[in-house]
Amino acid sequence: MDRLHSELHGDKILAGCPAINIAETASGYLMEMALPGYRKQDLLLAIEDDVLIVQGCSSCVPAQYEEVQRFYKKEFGIESFCRSFLLPEDVENVKATYEGGILAIQLQKGAIHKCVVDGVCERVTIPIQ
């Protein structure tokens, strides 16, 4: 039943990618990404042209795993990932917080921005509070 619902509505979860919720409010957009086990310093949030980029590195191995020789079953773990999202034209301000394993990104609506075609690619890093 879940597979049928997913196929009908096009909500396919990408294997190996963190789950995300995206919602629109009257004043902006809210994105919440499930990232349990990551530390804030292992995450990078940036905007390059009109694309929001969220990256996580796998260098954060819990101390209790350092001496493990073999896992007999391992269903959760911390892996590197990179997800990108095309931003709407009306995004004016971006803020992010990371608490309790959830990266919350608030995108405030504002004036519609026109994209420059064949312009210089600009990358802005967004601090995560």
Global pTM reads 0.72
Output the CA–CA distances (angstroms, integers) from residue 119 to 86, 91, 92, 115, 122, in the order listed. Answer: 17, 19, 19, 9, 9
List pLDDT tens digits, range 75-102.
666 678 999 999 988 888 899 999 999 9
What's the pLDDT band for 123 if we cut at 50, 70, 90? low
* Residue 129 confidence (pLDDT) above 90: no
* Partner residues linked to 31 by β-bridges: 22, 105
Show the domains of the chain with their CATH numbers: 16-61+75-125 (2.60.40.790)
pLDDT of residue 31: 96
pLDDT of residue 112: 74
Residue 15 or residue 54, greater confidence: 54
The percent helix, strand, coil of the chain (3-state, each to 5) is: 10, 40, 50
pLDDT of residue 3: 46
- Report, in angstroms and rounded to the nearest whole number, the Rg of the chain calculated over CA atoms: 17
Nearest one of 81, 83, 110 to 94, comparing CA atoms: 110
Tokens of 117: 């075609």
Q: How far apart are CA 125 and CA 122, in angstroms?
A: 10
